[in-house]
Amino acid sequence: MKKFFVLFILFVLPIVAYLFFASGVNNFGKLPTITPKIADVNQWASLSGNPVTLDKKITILGFLGQDLIHNKGNSFNLNQKIYKNYYEFKDFQFVMVAPIGTEAQAKQLLTELGAFTDTSKWNFVFASPEEIQAYYKSLNLKKDVLDSKTGTPNVYIVDKDRNLRGRKEATNYLEGYNSFYPSELNNVMMDDVKIILAEYRLALKKNNADRQI
């Protein structure tokens, strides 16, 4: 038994450890860039009155359309499945684009969401329908489209350099994540947000190590 145990320690454990770490590298590899350097939103008025920018932030970008309250279930799904898990990260934010004239709905939605969590990183910006359509078109998406009310249930991950990130596998090409389906947020989007956050944590550790050297 002792010999078997020693052989197990010497030969089997290293293989198990290798497979574990190899799997980790695969799971936390970089999330591909779908569209590089998308435009900022800092030219538009915000609900808070403070400038909102995508620069140097990990952003969940959404387009709520004219019916914010009617479609509030999507926002509640996002809040429960994504926002509540990650809002405490310093450089994480939500930015929701909506047409001018929906400010009162945005305030109501924010109040309702605030009953469940700290909403300080939910940001709303407002533009004309034409500006929203033009901005959305500039994202150069292959599959996703806005509806006639300049809204979509899909939300998008944007990194600190304003690159829109997603999945590029031939069998799993993904630009946005459908907030109507909690399962998609929980099983797909959550994993991809984890990858983005892991990227920046690893980069931060590397930079700190380089400074020490």
Residues 6+ apart with CB under 8 A from 74: 153, 179, 180
In a domain, 14, yes or no: no
In a domain, 70, yes or no: yes
In a domain, 37, yes or no: yes
- What's the pLDDT at 44? 98
Number of domains in the chain: 1
- C-alpha 41/C-alpha 96 separation (Å) is 10
In a domain, 1, yes or no: no
Ranking 9-13, 29-33, 63-67, 161-165 by mean pLDDT, the lowest is 9-13
In a domain, 27, yes or no: no
- C-alpha 208/C-alpha 100 separation (Å) is 44
Under DSSP, is residue 109 helix (H, G, I), strand (E, B) or coil? helix
Answer whether 61's CB lies under 8 Å from 158's CB.
yes
- CATH of residue 57: 3.40.30.10
Name the maximum alpha-carbon separation found in the chain. Answer: 76
Strand runs labelled E in the chain: 33-35, 45-46, 58-64, 92-99, 122-127, 151-158, 164-165, 167-169, 172-174, 177-178
- What's the pLDDT at 170? 80
Note the pLDDT tens digit of each residue in 170-210. 888 999 999 999 999 999 999 999 999 999 888 777 666 55
- What's the pLDDT at 19? 42
**pLDDT beyond 60 at 125:** yes
**pLDDT beyond 80 at 27:** no
Find, among 164, 177, 199, the residue nearest to 36 by Cα.
164
Give the domain extent around 208: 33-212
pTM passes above 0.95: no
In a domain, 28, yes or no: no
